[in-house]
Amino acid sequence: MKTVHLALYPTLADWEFGYVAAGINNPEYQREPGAFRIVTVGATHDPVRTIGGITMVPDTTLAEVSPTDSAMLVLPGAQIWDANDAFVDAARRWVDATVPVAGICGATVGLARGGLLDDRRHTSNAPEQLTPTGYAGAAHYVDAPAVTDRGVITAAAVAPVDFAREVFALLGVYQPAVLDAWYRLYGHQDPSGFYALQGER
């Protein structure tokens, strides 16, 4: 079983990781049902409270895992990314080990601060959000909901479905036709996607 590590920290944005977690933990429609699992990881074992007021307890800590234990590190947005050094360092370790990292919303600020967007195509909530980091990658900014480049996924806060699609595609969670149907349903609210998924049962 391949482990996808989902980062937890205070003010975590509840709406940004839900599609990712549900798609990975639910074996329905998967290419290899049950091949993936979500394990939550915090800087410590202390509970964290999300921006929506939900309390979550990490399964493990950064000190207890390494990139070799992981298929991907998923970094949701939060209000603390200007100072979230532990997970900026973790993202660098994952990328240095050629293990994918996926960051959405404020996490793209952390990826920029860590130098991981200097030479990769990427996106964020807006280019102006990344400018204060002093990063060198402004020329590689793409005005798109989500972007994948060389093992790093970035996405805007308003695009959790597009973020999930990039995660699923990079990991190979679904067959391409299934992923297309999933995105038609959740990304475009197209009922034909639902019926296509039912045909995969």
Would you state the pLDDT for residue 193?
97
Name the band, by pLDDT with cuts 50, 70 and 90, for residue 199: confident
Q: What is the pTM of this model?
A: 0.97
Q: First-to-last CA distance in the chain?
A: 22
119 with 137: CB under 8 angstroms? Answer: yes
For residue 157, give every residue at least 6 positions away whose Cβ sits within 8 Å of its Cβ, in sequence order, or none. Answer: 13, 16, 77, 104, 105, 106, 125
Per residue in 10-43, pLDDT tens? 999 999 999 999 999 999 999 999 999 999 999 9
For the 2-174 domain, the top CATH level (class) is alpha beta
Q: 61: which strand partners?
A: 42
Output the average pLDDT for the chain. Answer: 97
Once rounded to an integer, what is the mean pLDDT over residues 167-176? 98
Would you state the pLDDT for residue 68?
95
Per residue in 97-151, pLDDT tens? 999 999 999 999 999 999 999 999 999 999 999 999 999 999 999 999 999 999 9
Name the band, by pLDDT with cuts 50, 70 and 90, for residue 201: low
Q: How far apart are CA 122 and CA 141, in angstroms?
A: 5
List the structure tokens of 123. Answer: 């996106």
117 with 91: CB under 8 angstroms? Answer: no
For residue 97, give every residue at least 6 positions away whose Cβ sits within 8 Å of its Cβ, in sequence order, or none. Answer: 66, 67, 68
Once rounded to an integer, what is the mean pLDDT over residues 68-72? 97
